[in-house]
Amino acid sequence: MKKKEKEYIKLQERLNQVLMEKKKESKSGMEIMNLLQKEGRQRGTWNGKKADNDFYKKIVDAYEAKNQELMAENADLRALLRSMQGDMRDFLNAPDPSSKQSLVVNERLETEHSQSPFGGRMDVFDLPLHMARDQIEVSLRTKMASIKLKECMIQLQDEQKVAEVTSEATERELELEAQLVEARSIIQEQLLCFCHCANRITDLIQILISVYSCINQSI
């Protein structure tokens, strides 16, 4: 019995060492360690080979369950990253009709496919993290920098449009003001001309009245 206990303790130490080295940040590792401790406290009540097999089976089942959970989470994260990369690429490559030059992502740096060690090309998000980490990080950083640059360009274009509209409005106001001054000048000239004509007509009427009076007197 003591020999089996020593073997169990040695196995537990080895498992703890592996879990501490490879699963330091893993929730599954912590839960497996908890399972070991829980089952270890009950080991004194176990008897026979079947109990040992059940104990190891529980360890394997717990590890496989957590491994499947991590694989599912990794698949979701890969899909999310792939979708986010596609959205950013579409945004960066979208044509801007108001700009003479469109911002195009450098496909050589932004490619999301990598050369497979077995030949051919494969999606970078299907590669192990240690193989794809640098490429994914460079791609994301490059896209974020490009997005910031494009946003700055769009903001500058908007400011230029506002300045152009303001300039056009100012020019239009000046033009209307000049037309108004010209119209006032024309109206004043016409009024002066009308007054002059009215005075001439008044003088002419006075002359006619005087002539008419003279004619009546002579008759």
- Whether residue 40 contacts residue 12, with contact meaning beta carbons closer than 8 Å, is answered with yes
* Cα 94 to Cα 109: distance, rounded to the nearest angstrom: 18
- Whether residue 41 contacts residue 9, with contact meaning beta carbons closer than 8 Å, is answered with no
- Whether residue 168 contacts residue 109, with contact meaning beta carbons closer than 8 Å, is answered with no
* Cα 91 to Cα 149: distance, rounded to the nearest angstrom: 12
Tell me the C-alpha to C-alpha distance, in Å, between residue 36 and each of 68, 79, 108.
Answer: 19, 34, 50
- Whether residue 129 contacts residue 142, with contact meaning beta carbons closer than 8 Å, is answered with no
* Cα 28 to Cα 60: distance, rounded to the nearest angstrom: 12
**How far from chain centre, in Å, is Cα 86?**
12
The whole-number pLDDT of residue 67 equals 85
* Cα 189 to Cα 12: distance, rounded to the nearest angstrom: 112
- Whether residue 141 contacts residue 130, with contact meaning beta carbons closer than 8 Å, is answered with no
Q: Which two tokens stand for residue 107?
A: 């496909």
Per-residue pLDDT of the chain (219 residues; tens, 9 = 90+): 565 566 556 656 666 665 565 555 455 555 555 655 555 555 555 555 666 677 777 887 888 888 888 888 888 888 888 888 888 888 778 776 544 444 444 444 444 454 444 444 557 777 777 787 888 888 888 888 888 888 888 888 888 888 888 888 888 888 888 888 888 888 888 888 888 887 888 878 888 887 777 777 776
Number of other residues whose CB lies within 10 A of the CB of residue 98: 10
> Helices marked H in 94-128 — which ranges?
107-110
